[in-house]
Amino acid sequence: MAVTDTDAFEAQRPRLKRLAYRMLGSVAEAEDAVQDAWLRWTRADDDVADPAGWLVRTTSRLCIDRLRAAKAQREAYRGPWLPDPLIEELTEDPVERAEDVSVAFLLALERLSPLERAVFLLHDVFDEDYAAVAETLGRTEPAVRQLAARARSHVRDARPRFSVSQEEAGRLAMAFMTAAAQGDYGALSQMLAKDAVLVTDGGGKRKAALRPMVGPEDIVRLLQGLAWRGGWAEGMQVRPVRINGYPGVVVMQKGEPMTIAFQPGADGKIAGVYLMRNPDKLGHVGW
């Protein structure tokens, strides 16, 4: 493999990782898929006319294969499934557009078939034309257009319908954490939208609710239960970050990390709280 071929791959690596993460919802699996694409690239013919297109096609197909293979595992997952948290430090400019990596958006992608997901991401997010997507997936262009339309109808409502400044959203997230630590459940209830949802992912390996909590009353009741068991604020260290474009925190408690992402809603309220406790999804999260 020539140095120039290595350079061609490295130039595409960030784009491939972004595509694979959106396809798979897993940081580790995305990195593995990109590494598999690299191994195939080292064995490819030296006269690849369009390295970028070749690598996108290969990575897409590898991700589709992984999604199909993981179908039974996803269906047997204990409790709600959330994507691996994608962490960005507040001191850095956002690498990802928040609407394209938000938890709500990635959960909407989970409702799509692997082919629908690939078509939607390649065309609507990564701006590939329909002809290129059809070549990537071995489908006709009319079939790809149909898949895209069907996928679009499923994910339309997952896109943010209003914008909130990072500063305002960050203040709301930290106010929520402060009220939770102090047991101020009245203040917590006031911060939550009427249809707010709290989703906890423990993967069967850490304590977590086995269904989403919906509405302030349901959410506050869960937090009260956690506090009563001594499992919420005791010995908690909190570091503000961005998680999947949302304001969030990395929490260290008893030597173990967890992440909490806050989805901003209308009227300065919180529309969603996504709490990741599954240790298998937190290996890349540092303190």
Ordered by where they begin, the domains of the chain are: 3-158 (1.20.140), 166-281 (3.10.450.50)
Nearest by Cα to 82 from 286, 284, 287, 280: 280
Q: Are 259 and 85 in contact (CB under 8 A)?
A: yes
Full DSSP string of 71-108: HHHHHT-SS---PPP-EE-TTSPPSS-HHHH-HHHHHH
Q: What does the alpha-carbon distance between residue 251 and residue 258 come to, in Å, rounded to a whole number?
A: 5
Full DSSP string of 27-61: HHHHHHHHHHHHHHHHTS-TT-S-HHHHHHHHHHH
pLDDT at 12: 94
Q: Are 234 and 253 in contact (CB under 8 A)?
A: yes
Over residues 159-214, the pLDDT tens digits come to 655 566 777 778 888 899 889 888 899 999 999 999 999 999 999 998 888 899 99
pLDDT at 231: 55
pLDDT band at 57 (very low <50, low <70, confident <90, very high): very high
Phi, psi of 184 (to 5 degrees): -90, 80
**160-174, 209-223, 231-245, range with greatest mean pLDDT:** 209-223
Residue 246, amino acid: Y
Task: Give the list of residues 6+ apart from residue 66 with CB closer than 8 angstroms, or none.
Answer: 24, 29, 33
Tell me the pairing of strands 270-276 and 192-201.
parallel
Higher pLDDT, 286 or 58: 58
Nearest by Cα to 209 from 197, 195, 192: 197
Give percent of the chain above pLDDT 70: 90
Q: What is the rounded average pLDDT of the residues 118-142? A: 93
Return the sign of the alpha-carbon dihedral for residues 131, 135, 136, 138: positive
Average pLDDT of the chain, as a whole number: 87
Task: Give yes or no for residue 14 having a pLDDT over 60.
Answer: yes
Phi, psi of 91 (to 5 degrees): -75, -10
Tell me the pairing of strands 246-253 and 237-243.
antiparallel
Q: Are 262 and 276 in contact (CB under 8 A)?
A: no
